[in-house]
């Protein structure tokens, strides 16, 4: 019972962190909208659509990185994995003559296999995740260069589906149905807790959660209602929702938090730590391939030498900004979504402010360091 309470404790803290991060994001948007230097271009439909579309690849990776970080792991190979899976899809389509859907499936299988291998090395052999994935960081980039003969590859017109937009009518249906499902789940959870004799959330909390969902749906409707939602944004949203479901409503998700909180206690309580570790890394490998396909489809090609370069560091930054502890056991996918948007807003705002790209790298590094410092200090206070 004690382990179960500890595994659930992070979720109570996460809500506060997510609301705080949402406030930070709103403040950033307000400041950038009012700054004369942005020339009134930030809060425009086109710029917000661009911001969300460009952050979709990072979000897919960051969601998987969140799961790995929750079990005290890390993956430094995702950027190289993005390049390798993109090359696999392109070569399978061009040289082997496979249809685009089959080529995409082959890339997904390769990504999942890579993640499974990482999990086996970390979970079964006990090799530190840093070492395993650092080896992948070099090997997968090299593999992408060898397979492509160090040449850029084009994806072909059959991959255009990855960069298309869903028609406006379908966009409205998706937004409305997702909002209805979210509201129904929120109300059902409150009623179910009451039926089970547990303390239900207050009316104010339920109303606030529904209002937040309605606000998000309204933002998406304003941005994409007239032009249609891009496929990368739709895929990233689906990945985030699936991860929220897994972490909050499944035994596998509870085991992730338990392992991150105390791996030895989790093992003694009957949790198969090795299997969960392999599963988490396999999920990240799959999502790495999804990101690789989305990025390749968006730019209509793969440049094996620099495709996905530094993406792993951006993902870790987004995860840490979103409140997930590098020490494991504390964090949420919702926080990562908000952290990714904060990170993307910083990049977008600095571009609008015409800040030199070299200074942008310095600012990003400083933000990551401050976020980690805050996490370490807060962990010390809780201890």
Q: What is the pLDDT of residue 380?
A: 57
Q: Which residue has the tokens 């994806």?
A: 155
Q: What is the pLDDT of residue 235?
A: 97
Contact yes or no for 309/295 (Cβ under 8 A): no
In a domain, 208, yes or no: no
In a domain, 212, yes or no: no
What SS3 state is found at 348? helix
Neighbouring residues of 9: CB distance < 8 A, sequence distance ≥ 6 = none
Q: What is the pLDDT of residue 13?
A: 42
Q: What is the pLDDT of residue 377?
A: 72
Residue 376 structure tokens: 């370490």
In a domain, 19, yes or no: yes
Residues of the chain with pLDDT under 50: 1-14
Residue 99 structure tokens: 């249809």
State the CATH number of the domain containing residue 344. 1.10.3470
323-369 tens-digit pLDDT? 898 888 888 999 999 999 999 999 999 998 888 888 888 888 887 78
Q: How far apart are CA 279 and CA 201, in angstroms?
A: 32
Rounded to the nearest 10 degrees, the angle between the axes of helix 333-352 and helix 56-70 is 140
DSSP H helices, 196-230, are: 203-224
In a domain, 304, yes or no: yes
Q: What is the pLDDT of residue 381?
A: 52
Q: What is the pLDDT of residue 174?
A: 96
Q: What is the pLDDT of residue 10?
A: 44
Q: How many helices (H) and strands (E) does the chain have?
A: 15, 2
Q: How far apart are CA 49 and CA 230, in angstroms?
A: 9
The DSSP result for 235-286, as a single string, is HHHHHHHHHHHHHHHSHHHHHHHHHHH-HHHHHHTT--HHHHHHHHHHHHHH
Burial of 204 (0-12, 13-18, 19+ CB in 10 A): exposed
313-327 tens-digit pLDDT? 999 999 998 989 888
Sign of CA dihedral 176, 177, 183, 187: positive
**% pLDDT > 70, the chain:** 94
Residue range of the domain that includes 158: 2-164+230-382
Q: What is the pLDDT of residue 370?
A: 80
Neighbouring residues of 143: CB distance < 8 A, sequence distance ≥ 6 = 84, 87
Number of separate domains in the chain: 1
- The maximal CA–CA distance of the chain, rounded, in angstroms, is 64
Q: What is the pLDDT of residue 241?
A: 95
In a domain, 220, yes or no: no
Residue 174 structure tokens: 């998706």
Q: What is the pLDDT of residue 69?
A: 96
In a domain, 305, yes or no: yes
Neighbouring residues of 234: CB distance < 8 A, sequence distance ≥ 6 = 166, 174
């Amino acid at each position: 019972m004690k382990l179960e309470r500890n595994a659930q404790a992070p979720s109570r803290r996460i809500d506060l962190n997510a609301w705080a991060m949402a406030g930070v994001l709103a403040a950033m948007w307000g400041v950038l909208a009012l700054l004369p230097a942005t020339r009134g271009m930030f809060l425009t439909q086109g710029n917000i659509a661009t911001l969300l579309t460009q952050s979709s690849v990072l979000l897919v990776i960051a969601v998987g990185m969140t799961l790995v970080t929750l079990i005290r792991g890390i993956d430094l190979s995702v950027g190289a994995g993005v390049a390798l899976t993109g090359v696999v899809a392109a070569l399978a389509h061009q040289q082997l003559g496979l249809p685009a859907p089959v080529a995409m499936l082959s890339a997904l299988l390769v990504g999942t296999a890579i993640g499974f291998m990482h999990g086996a090395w970390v979970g079964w052999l006990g090799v530190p995740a840093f070492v395993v994935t650092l080896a992948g960081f070099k090997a997968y980039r090299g593999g992408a260069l060898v397979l492509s003969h160090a040449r850029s590859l084009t994806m072909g017109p059959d991959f255009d589906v990855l960069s298309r937009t869903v028609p406006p009518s379908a966009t409205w249906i998706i937004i409305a149905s997702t909002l209805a499902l979210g509201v129904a789940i929120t109300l059902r959870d409150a009623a179910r807790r009451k039926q089970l004799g547990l303390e239900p959330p207050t009316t104010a909390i339920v109303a606030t959660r529904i209002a937040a969902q309605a606000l998000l749906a309204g933002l998406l409707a304003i941005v994409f209602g007239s032009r249609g939602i891009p496929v990368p944004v739709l895929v990233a949203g689906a990945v985030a929702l699936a991860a929220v479901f897994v972490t909050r409503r499944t035994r596998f998700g509870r085991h992730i938090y338990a392992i991150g909180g105390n791996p030895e206690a989790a093992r003694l309580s009957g949790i198969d730590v090795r299997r969960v570790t392999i599963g988490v890394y396999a999920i990240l490998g799959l999502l790495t391939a999804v990101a690789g396909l989305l990025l390749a489809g968006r730019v209509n090609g793969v440049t094996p030498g620099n495709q996905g370069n530094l993406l792993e560091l951006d993902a870790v930054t987004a995860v840490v900004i979103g409140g997930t502890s590098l020490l494991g056991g504390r964090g949420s996918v919702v926080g990562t979504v908000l952290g990714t948007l904060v990170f993307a807003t910083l990049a977008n705002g600095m571009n609008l402010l015409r800040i030199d790209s070299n200074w942008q790298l310095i600012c990003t590094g400083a933000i990551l360091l401050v976020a980690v410092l805050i996490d370490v200090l807060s962990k010390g206070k809780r201890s």
